Amino acid sequence: MKSRLPLLVLVAGFGLAGCNQPNLALCPAGAILADTASHTLFRPGAPTDLSGEVLTARMTDFKTSCVFDKQAGASYSTVSLSFRATRPPSADAAHYNLDYFVTVSSAERILDKKMYRVGFDFAPGATVATADESPPRVTINLERGHQPPDYQLLAGFQLTDAELNYNRRMGRYLP
């Protein structure tokens, strides 16, 4: 009996090893799309180069957590996004709104896309503004034979073709 006790403690220890840890293996992965991680605004009529920039915003963090309801065949994900915007020095206060998206994809298919707006408030003289956003919960109704890790949540700024090309030309990807 004495020799079994260490074995039972060892087995119990392995059984408890992950009890307080979220099981992220059962959640969809989350990522910021590199080409859309940055959004630059220009002064009207200014050249689309560094001299004409009014604001550059970046997605700096994307976190997800989820609840997997096996009975319902669904995954419910919460999303948290962080943003950082910079502007040239200015004595004026300013407010800017930028559109961003969160998509649900599986392999090469986009299954759902929701649009949101983030606001940046610059105090007089401030050159940096930050924002944190938590869009509504993302529900994924799992396709037959699929598990939550078969899906991915992707986020980025909603950009025009010209804005996307500017990011690529300037090498503006993830921070």
User: Terminal CA-to-CA distance of the chain, rounded, Å?
Assistant: 59
Count of the separate structural domains present in the chain: 1
Nearest to 135 by CA among 30, 3, 25, 16: 30
CATH number, domain with residue 69: 2.60.40
Nearest to 173 by CA among 3, 77, 35: 35
Each residue of 80-113: pLDDT tens digit? Answer: 999 999 999 989 999 999 999 999 999 889 999 9
Q: Is residue 8 part of a domain?
A: no
pTM of the model: 0.81
Q: Is residue 6 part of a domain?
A: no
Each residue of 19-54: pLDDT tens digit? Answer: 333 455 689 999 999 999 999 999 888 878 787 889
Q: Which residue range forms the structural domain that includes residue 162?
A: 22-170
Q: Is residue 30 part of a domain?
A: yes
